């Protein structure tokens, strides 16, 4: 299988898997999220390809053939035009921080005890490595970008108390008893407890609405 065929397989799997997760969270058809997940795949691939400051014809051909048709509107340009457009903008820098979509999945996992973020982690990393393999020899800058991408995702999982992929789920330790002998005969007054949150709570509806706002303007083809 050629490198471009591997990219097509990785992009297709990423879009299908992550689209299904968004559909399950929103109770909307997965097809409605194709533009969002395709744009996410575009940013991951573009971030890796642009990491070394150059894009070969082979890399651009694969990107434009595989991802270009999935974007809204479809991206149909020559390699020369793609370079003039500075197609990938700051996508490499974006890999060093969690995306809105990954953040949404992490928040859903923290609220529901699910592991949708693990699917993103697995398929996004595969996508990044396949993108690097479009070069006969991946550059050190590309590998560094992938490592930063991986670290950013793991740190975001940690911030929500979500177990890292391949590790057992973290369970909260029971609260120690602090009753004194004098108070043991008196029923303790219930004290409300709140779990620490890494950030102010945002509903899934709000986050899905944020994805809607990102459609179009956030596309790399607009760079």
Q: Is the peptide bond prior to 202 cis by the omega test (within 30 degrees of 0)?
A: no
Phi/psi of residue 63, nearest 5 degrees: -60, -50
- Smallest Cα–Cα separation from 62: which of 136, 125, 168, 116? 136
Domain ranges of the chain: 3-160
Q: Kindly give, in sequence order, each residue whose CB lies less than 8 Å from that of residue 142, ignoring residues fewer than 6 positions away.
A: 48, 49, 51, 52, 131, 132, 135
pLDDT the model gives residue 136: 85
pLDDT the model gives residue 208: 67
Instruction: Give the angle 220-47-73 at the CA atoms, nearest 5°.
Output: 20
* Segment (H or E) for 105: helix 100-112
Per-residue pLDDT of the chain (223 residues; tens, 9 = 90+): 898 999 999 999 999 999 999 999 999 999 999 999 999 999 999 999 999 999 999 999 999 999 999 999 999 999 999 999 888 999 999 999 999 999 999 999 999 999 999 999 999 999 999 999 998 889 999 999 999 999 999 999 999 999 999 887 655 334 344 443 333 333 444 444 444 444 444 555 666 666 665 444 444 443 3
pLDDT the model gives residue 213: 59
Count of alpha carbons within 13 Å of 18, Cβ hemisphere only?
A: 29
Question: pTM of the prediction?
Answer: 0.78
């Amino acid at each position: 299988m050629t490198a471009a065929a591997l990219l097509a397989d990785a992009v297709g799997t990423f879009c299908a898997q992550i689209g299904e997760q968004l559909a399950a969270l929103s109770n909307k058809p997965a097809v409605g999220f194709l533009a969002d997940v395709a744009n996410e795949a575009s940013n991951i691939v573009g971030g890796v390809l642009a990491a070394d400051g150059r894009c070969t014809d082979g890399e651009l051909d694969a990107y434009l053939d595989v991802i270009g048709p999935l974007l809204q509107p479809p991206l149909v340009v020559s390699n020369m035009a793609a370079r003039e457009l500075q197609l990938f903008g700051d996508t490499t820098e974006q890999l060093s921080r969690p995306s809105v979509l990954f953040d949404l999945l992490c928040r859903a996992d923290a609220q529901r005890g699910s592991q949708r973020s693990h699917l993103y982690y697995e398929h996004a990393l595969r996508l990044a490595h396949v993108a690097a393999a479009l070069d006969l020899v991946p550059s050190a800058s590309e590998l560094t970008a992938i490592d930063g991408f991986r670290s950013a995702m793991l740190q975001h999982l940690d911030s929500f108390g979500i177990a890292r992929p391949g590790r057992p789920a973290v369970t909260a330790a029971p609260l120690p008893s602090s009753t004194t002998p004098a108070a043991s005969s008196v029923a303790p007054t219930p004290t409300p407890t709140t779990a620490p949150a890494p950030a102010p709570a945002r509903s899934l509806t709000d986050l899905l609405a944020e994805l809607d706002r990102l459609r179009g303007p956030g596309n790399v083809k607009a760079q």
